[in-house]
Amino acid sequence: MTRLTGGVIDHETALRFTFNGKTYSGRKGDTLASALLANGVQLVGRSFKYHRPRGVLSAGSEEPNALVTLRGGAREEPNTRATVTELFDGLVARSQNHVGPLHRDVMAVNDLLSPLFASGFYYKTFMWPRAFWEKLYEPLIRHAAGLGRLSGEADPDAYDKGFLHCDLLVIGGGAAGLAAALAAGRAGVKVILADEDFQFGGRLLAETHQLDGMPATSWVTAVMAELSGLENVRLMPRTTVFGAYDHGIYGAVERVSDHVSAADGEVRQTLWRITAKRSVLAAGATERHIPFPNNDRPGIMLAGAMRAYANRWAASPTRHPSDPVIIFTNNDDGHRTATDLLAKGVPVTAVVDPRDDAPTFGAYELITGVVDDTKGRLGLTSVRVTQNGQSRWMPCGALGVSGGWNPNVHLSSHHRSKPVWDEALLAFVPGKDLPNGMIVAGAAVGQGTTAKALRSGMEAAVSSLAALGISAERIDLPDADDTAAAQTAFWHVSRKGRAWVDFQNDVTVKDIVLAHQENMRPVEHLKRWTTLGMATDQGKTSNISALAVMAELTGKSLPETGTTIFRPPYTGVTLSVLGGGDTGKHFRPTRYTPTHQWSASQGATFVEVGAWLRAQYFVQPGETHWRQSVDREVLAVRRGVGLCDVTTLGKIDVQGPDAAEFLNRIYCNMMGTLAVGRVRYGLMLREDGHAYDDGTCARLSENHFVVTTTTANAALVYRNMEFARQCLWPDLNVSLISTTDAWAQIAVAGPNSRTLLSRVVDGFDLSNEVFPFMACAELTVCGGLRARLFRISFSGELAYEIAVPARYGNALMERLAQVGADLGATPYGTEALGVMRIEKGHAAGSELNGQTTAQMLSLGRMVSEKKDSIGAVMSRREGLAQDKRRLVGFRPVDKSEAIVAGSHLFTQGETRNTTTDQGWITSAAYSPHVGSSIAIGFLEEGDARMGEVVIAANPLEGREVRVEVVSPHFVDPEGGRLRD
C-alpha cells in the first residue's frame, strides 16, 4: 500500500473492488486509478499498437493509457478511463488489449517488430495481393490492434433523456466555475453548474493553495453549501457537457448510477439537452508532457496528476512507499509537485529542469538537464538524467513530467472557432466567434492562477448576465495565490530512441519525423497518416506536443504549423444514452387504427405503413400462404361484401365562404361546382406540374368540405394547404383543420354492401335514386350515433365508406361483421385492397411517385383550363405536356408467368437500353378475378398500343415476361357495378 494521509477521501469507508480478478480495497472518494495507485498498482494496461506496458498518466478525462473494461456480461463496457471511474463497493474492472496475463502479454512481440509498424505502415504494407485485404489483412489487423472488446450483446441498462433550460450554464466546477455560479446564483437567475467530476472543486481539490488563509477545500465546501441552498441553481456533478450545438443548446450526459451497484431498471445515464441563454466555459486546462525516449513506462505520469493523487486522493504514485520520485519539468508548476509530495512524506530525490534559471522551491536536488531514458519494463525503476552532456542513471519509482498546460478550449471551438496561439502562455487559447453567448473563463482561457481563475469566472458571470439585461453584484472573492508559473518553450528531448507523443495511438516523435519526410506536413495529414489524436482521448495530451515537433521540423512557428479544431463529443458518449432509453419497438411511435383490437382478434397480420400498423390480411384456418388469404378476401368482396379500416387516409376539414374557391386552386380539377351532398375525385399537382396526391372531396354543406388524402401524404397535403391558405392566398376566408384521428372510417365494399349498411343506418334511404354513386351525407347509425357516409369505391364494386367517432370504430366494425355474416361480410386488409385497385386500374403511391403527370395517368383532361390551380400552368409546359407515356394494363401472354413491379418495358426485338426504354411496370398482383398475374404501368403511347405484346424485363433477376397491353380496367370497365 502506498496510501498517504489527508486528502479529500473518506478514510473510514473502505470499498472493495477487483482488478483482473484480484480483490483490492479503496476508499470512498477514490477513482479506480487512485485506488489502484494507493494499492501500489502501476501497470494497468497495454498500449494500442506495440502492446507496451502502460500505467496511469493523468488524473482526469484526458487519460490515454489507463483504459479498462468495467463490469461483465452484457453490461461489459470497454475503454473506460480508470481516472474518472468513481470507485464503489463491488466494482469489477479488468485491463484490456493483451493476450495472456497483463504482465506477460504475448502480443508484446509487436514491440520488437516496431520498425515494421512505422506510421502509415498499413497503407504501404498491405497493398498486395489486393484480394488479401478483406479476407486476411484486415481481420488480422483488427484482431491485433484495438483496445477493449464489445460484449456483442444488447445493452440491458436503462437510459433516459431530457431537456433543461437556464439563464447561465456554467461548464466546469473549479475555481472559475464556482465563482461564476456563485455570482449568478446570488443574482437569482437560473443557473446550471455541471462538472464531469463527482466532486465540485476542480484543481482546488488537488492543490495545497490556501484561500483566505484556509485550505481551498474549506472554501469549496462553503460555496457548495450555499449553492445547494439556492433554488435557482441546479448542481449537476458527474455530468459531462460534451458538445455546443446551435441556438445555445448544449449536449450533456449525466452519469446517474455508474458510481453505484445499480439495481435492474435503474437509469444508468441521462442525455440532457440544455438550452442556455448564456454559458461560461470553465473547463480548466490539461497538462502536457515532454516526449523523451521510453517515456511511456508505468510510473511516468503528469506532474499535476501526481500532485492530485497525493493531495486529493492520498495516493502515492510509486509501488512502494520508499521508492524515490523524480520530477521532469520545464516550468515552475512542476516544482510544486515536488514540494507537495515532500510535504506528504513521499521521497522526492530530484527535480530535473532544462531551464538555466530554474528556481528551487524545496529540499530536493535541482538538476539543470533533461531525462532522456528510462528503465523498468512493468514499472519504472530508474531514469537517465543528462546534465551538461554527462548522463547518469538515477533510481526512480515514479517520474512526474510537466511540459506546461493547455487550456481546454474544446467546446469553444465546436462552432468552428479557431484557437489562437498565445506566445506568453505558450498555449492555444479560445479565438473569436465562439458559440453564441459563451464566455471562457479561468484556466480554459489561460487565466490559470487561482486568483485569476476566481476573478475571471466571476466577471464572466457578471458580463453574461449584463448581456441579458440583468445587473449582478460582484461577489467578494477569497484571497488567493496569483503567482503565474514561469515556463520555457521546451517541447521534447531530442535523443535516439522512441519518444512517445501520443500514448493512446503509440505515435512517437520518429513517426512525426517520418510523416514530415513523406510530406504529410499539414496537421490534418499528420493526424491521418500517424493516427495521432484519434481514439478515445482525441489527443488531449498529445496534439500540441505533436504540433510543436512538426513546427520544429518545418522551421515554422507553432501557429503557422496549424491548430486543432474540435468537434463534439468532448469525451466519448455511449450510443445507448444518445438513444435516450427508447429502443426496439419504442424507438419511434406507432399509430394504431381504431379497429386494431378487432383486427387482431380476427387473426390479422399487420404491416407498417409509415407510422401506422394496418391489417395486411386475415389468415383463416387452413390457409398456409398469404396469397390464399388475399385471394379469398378479394373474391369475398367481389362476390359478397368486405370490410376494411381506411381511417389512415388523411381527412382535412375545409370551411368558410371561400372554401370552394380555395379548393378550386388546390385541386387541378374543378371542385367549386360540386353539389352539396356529393363527392368528387380530385387530383393535386405540385408547383412543377407533376401529380402528387389524389383523393376525394365531399361537400357536406355550402361552406363545408371534407378532403381526403392518401395515407402517405396526409401530413404533406395538410401542410401544403396551410401554406397556401396562410401565405399564397391570405385574402381567402377559409379555415382548415385535420380530423384524421377523430373519425374511424370503414370501407364497406361489394355487391352486398348496400344491404349490409341498411341494417345499421337509422332510417336512411340508401337507394340508388336517393343516395347514388358519389353521394355523401351526415346521418346516424346503430341507434343515434352520428356518422358520415360516402358512396365511393376503390375496388370498383358497389361500395361505401362510413365514418363514426373513433371510439366507436371497433364496435361498428364488429357490428358490421356480425350483422353481415349471412351476406358474406369478410374483413380484408391492405393486400386485398391493393389487388382490387390494380384490377380496377386505380392509381396509388406507385403511380403517384412524384415523376408522373395527369396526362400520364390518363387524367390529363382533369386539369381544368377554366380556372387556375397549383401546378396547372407548369403541367402544360414544353417537355412535360408532350410526355406520351400512358397508364395501361398488362397481362402475361403465358398466364402462368408473374409480372414483377419495377420491370422495364421494351418493344419486342429491340435492344434494351435506356434509349429504347418504353416505360415501366408500377404495380403488379395476382388477380383472382382474372386468374393470372396482372399489372399496370406507364408505356410510351400506351393508349394506342392495345393488344401489342411487349417485354417486361427484370434484368436484376435475369427474367423477362411477354405481356399484352390491355386496358388498365380489368374489372367492370364500364363502371356499372359501382353505379348500380
Q: DSSP characters for 714-766? A: HHHHHHHHHHIIIII-TTS--EEEE-TTTEEEEEEESTTHHHHHHTTBSS---
Cα 500 to Cα 353: distance, rounded to the nearest angstrom: 19
Measured from the CB atom, is 95 or 593 closer to another protein? 593
Least distance (Å) from another protein to the CB of residue 832?
22
DSSP assignment string, 876-923: TSTTTTT--EEEEEEEESSTTS---TTPEEEETT---STTT--EEEEE
Between the alpha carbon of residue 584 and those of residues 155, 264, 756, the distances in Å are 12, 18, 41
| Shortest CB 964 distance to another protein, Å | 43
Of 138 and 741, which CB lies nearer to another protein in the complex structure? 741
Cell 492543490, located at residue: 207
Measured from the CB atom, the residue of 165 and 495 that comes closer to another protein is 165
Nearer to another protein, 14 or 737 (CB): 737
Residue (656 or 902) nearer to another protein, CB: 656
User: Looking at beta carbons only, is 324 or 581 nearer to another protein?
Assistant: 581
Q: How far is the CB of 828 from another protein (least distance, A)?
A: 20
CB of 286 vs another protein, minimal distance in Å: 32
Query: What are the angstrom distances between the C-alpha of 409 and each of 284, 431, 444, 456?
Result: 9, 9, 6, 15
Distance CA 335, CA 392 (A): 21
For 494, 647, 648, 822, the CA distances from 596, given in Å and listed in that order, are 75, 11, 12, 24
Instruction: Pick between residue 125 and residue 590 the one whose CB is nearest to another protein.
Output: 590
**Phi-psi group of 469: left, alpha or beta (phi > 0 → left; psi -120 to 50 → alpha; rest → beta):** left
For another protein, the closer CB: 782 or 930: 782
The residue (of 334 and 594) whose beta carbon lies closer to another protein is: 594
**For residues 25 and 232, which CB has a smaller minimum distance to another protein in the complex?**
232
Residue with Cβ nearer another protein (423 or 582): 582
* CB nearer another protein, residue 214 or residue 737: 737
Which of residues 164 and 514 has its CB atom nearest to another protein in the complex?
A: 164
Helix (H, G, I), strand (E, B) or coil at 650: coil
Closest CA to 461 of 166, 165, 236, 164: 166
Pseudo-torsion of CA 208, 210, 216, 222, nearest 10°?
Answer: 160
Strand partners, 695: 682
Give least dist CB 714 to another protein, A: 11
Provide the 10 A C-beta neighbour count for residue 896: 7
Toward another protein, which CB reaches closer, 362 or 672? 672
Distance CA 449, CA 157 (A): 42
Binding site residues, another protein, CB under 8 A: 158, 160-165, 190, 265-267, 273, 275, 581-582, 586, 588-594, 596-597, 611-612, 647, 653, 655-657, 704, 733, 735, 737-744, 781-786, 804-808, 810-812, 815
Total count of residues recorded for the chain: 980
- The label of the residue with cell 497518416 reads 529
CA distance 227 to 540: 31
Q: Please say which residue, 28 or 165, places its beta carbon nearer to another protein.
A: 165
Rounded to a whole number of angstroms, the minimum distance from the CB of residue 591 to another protein is 4
What is the closest distance, in whole angstroms, from the C-beta atom of residue 234 to another protein in the complex?
A: 10
- 914 touches 862 (CB < 8 A): no
C-alpha cell at 523: 496537421
- Residue 94 and residue 68 in contact, taking contact as beta carbons nearer than 8 Å: yes
Nearer to another protein, 39 or 655 (CB): 655
To another protein, the closest distance from the beta carbon of 808 in angstroms equals: 5
Q: Per residue in 933-946, is it b (16+ CB within 10 Å) or e — as a string?
A: bbbbbbbbebeebe
For residue 746, the minimal CB distance to another protein (Å) is 12
CA-derived radius of gyration, the chain: 38
CB of 724 to another protein, least distance (A): 15
**Cα(728)–Cα(722) distance, integer angstroms:** 9
Phi, psi of 364 (to 5 degrees): -140, 160
Q: What's the min distance (Å) between Cβ of 152 and another protein? A: 26
Minimum CB separation of residue 805 from another protein in Å reads: 5
- Cβ burial, residue 865 (10 Å; 0-12/13-18/19+): exposed
- Closest among 482, 535, 485, 474 to 507, alpha carbons compared: 535
Burial profile 670-692: b = 16 or more Cβ within 10 angstroms, e = fewer:
bbbebeeebbbebbbbeeebbbb
State the nearest-atom distance from the C-beta of 943 to another protein, in Å: 40
Torsion of CA 971, 972, 973, 976, to 10 degrees: -160
Nearest approach in angstroms of CB 203 to another protein is: 31
* Closest approach of another protein to the CB of residue 782, in Å: 5
Query: 151-175 burial string, b = 16+ CB within 10 Å, else e?
Result: beeebebbbbbeebebbbbbbbbbb
Q: Compute the least distance from the CB of residue 469 to another protein, in Å.
A: 16
